[in-house]
Amino acid sequence: MRLRVTFPILATLLVLANCGETGSPSQAPQPTPQAQAMRHMLADVDQIRAFLYGSGNQAGAASAASDLVAWARQMPTLFPPELASRQYVDMSPERAKAATAAINREAGLLLAAVQTGDHAAIGDRLAETERNGCGACHLNSTQ
């Protein structure tokens, strides 16, 4: 009698223990170079924002702004205008070219503002960078 009760319980526990592994991929897909770039750029923006809100320092913000400039320079390679227009339905080659120019310009201006240490100027420039630089791709062109 004891074996008839114990066996189904153990079998059920064994099945439940293996459920988490059933159907799960052996290796998660790796992010694309474009996704990695976006993550790095967002981390840079967040570090600059942290400085503005008092939880970071100017040296860290300046390093993040420099890194943002370096990533912005890679945008034409990561998102070639002729390919971007085929990969993203709302991105024409002209818009892709303008967007890479915009993020490069805005990132450079943000770096210059961060180097001054003036919180008001940095805040204004960060808002402009997000709106005109990042927004060149990530906002609808009609907004």
- In this predicted model, what pLDDT tens digit does every residue of 112-128 receive, in sequence order? 999 999 999 999 999 99
Task: Look up the CATH number of the domain holding residue 125.
Answer: 1.20.120.10
Q: How many domains does the chain have?
A: 1
Whether 16 is in a domain gets the answer no
Q: Is the pLDDT score of 15 beyond 90?
A: no
How many Å apart are CA 22 and CA 20, to the nearest integer?
A: 6
**What pLDDT is attached to residue 20?**
54
What residues contact residue 62 under an 8 Å CB cut-off, 6+ apart?
111, 114, 115
Whether 22 is in a domain gets the answer no
**Are 61 and 51 within 8 A, CB to CB?**
yes
Whether 117 is in a domain gets the answer yes
Mean per-residue pLDDT, 79-94: 88
Q: Is the pLDDT score of 136 beyond 70?
A: yes
Whether 1 is in a domain gets the answer no
Whether 8 is in a domain gets the answer no
How many Å apart are CA 12 and CA 16, to the nearest integer?
A: 6
Whether 14 is in a domain gets the answer no
**DSSP 3-state assignment of 21?**
coil
What residues contact residue 56 under an 8 Å CB cut-off, 6+ apart?
47, 48, 50
Domain that holds residue 131: 33-138
